[in-house]
A = this chain, B = another copy of it.
Amino acid sequence: MSVNFDYQRPERLGMPEAVLCEGKSFQHIQDILSELSERNDYPVLFTRLEQSQFEQLPESLRQRLDYDELSRTAVLNGQLPKRWGKVAVVTAGTSDLSVATEAVRTLTFSGVETSLVADVGVAGIWRLMERVKDIAEHDLIIVVAGMDAALASVMGGLVGKCVIGVPTSVGYGVAADGTTALNSMLASCGQGIVVTNIDNGFGGACAALRILSMADSVFYREDG
C-alpha cells in the first residue's frame, strides 16, 4: 500500500502530525515509518504503537524513534517548536498513568510545557488539597481518571481554569470499560467541564493545543 501523506495539514490546523497505529497492519505501520523517516524536518508522533510492534521494527527504524512503553508513543524527527502555555495533567490513580502519559508526551512533542501530577484521587482528598495551588497556576488542566472519575468534579469546583476530563477504562464490573467514568464526567456537578472519548489521552492533548492556540489571537489583537 503506498503512503499518501498530506504534509500541509499540521500547518493548516496547528495540530501535530500523528499516526494512530491501532487498527493498522504491521506492514502498513512500517511503510509509513519508512517514508516519514526520510524527511528529517517533519516531526511525527506515533500513538498506540505496541511494544511488541516496536520491537519487530528493523534496528535502523528503532534507533530513529524515541519510544515510550507506558504511553505506547513514539516520536520521529524531534519535537515541535516551543509554544505558549502550561498544562497540568492530573491523575486519580497509578493505573491512569498510561493514558496520562500519552497526553503528556503529545503536549511535550508539540512544544508545550507540561506537568504530571499523579495519584491525587478523591478517596484521599488531602492529597489533592496539598497540590491544588500548584495545579491552579497552569493555564489548563487535563484530569485523567477512571472508575467514578470524581476527581474531575472536585477539580472543577476548586479551579476556574479550563478542565478537560479524559475518562479511563480502569476498573472492573460496572466500571471496566470506562463508561461510568465518561458519564460521571459528563454529568458532573462541576460547571463547564468538557470531556473526550475513553482512554483518549492524545485527544485531550489536541484539545489543549486548540485552546492554547487562542493565545495567538490575544497577542495579535493586542498588537492590533
Chain A contact residues, CB within 8 Å of chain B: 1, 4, 6, 9, 12-15, 18, 22-25, 28, 70, 84-85, 92-95, 119, 121-125, 127, 139-140, 147-150, 152-154, 156-164, 169-175, 178-200, 202-203, 205-215, 217-219, 222
Residues of B within 8 A of A154 (CB): 122-123, 125, 150, 154
Q: How far is the CA of A200 from the CA of B186 in the complex (A)?
A: 10
CB within 8 Å for A197 and B214 given contacts A94-B24, A153-B148: no
CB within 8 Å for A161 and B214 given contacts A24-B94, A123-B156, A150-B148: yes
Residues of B within 8 A of A206 (CB): 191-192
Sampled A-B contacts (17; CB under 8 Å): A93-B189, A122-B157, A125-B125, A139-B214, A147-B188, A147-B189, A148-B188, A150-B188, A162-B211, A171-B187, A172-B198, A174-B183, A180-B180, A183-B183, A183-B184, A192-B207, A195-B195
Q: How far is the CA of A38 from the CA of B163 in the complex (A)?
A: 34
Residues of B within 8 A of A180 (CB): 180, 183-184, 186-187
Residues of B within 8 A of A147 (CB): 187-189
Nearest-neighbor residue (CB-CB) of A202 within chain B: B191
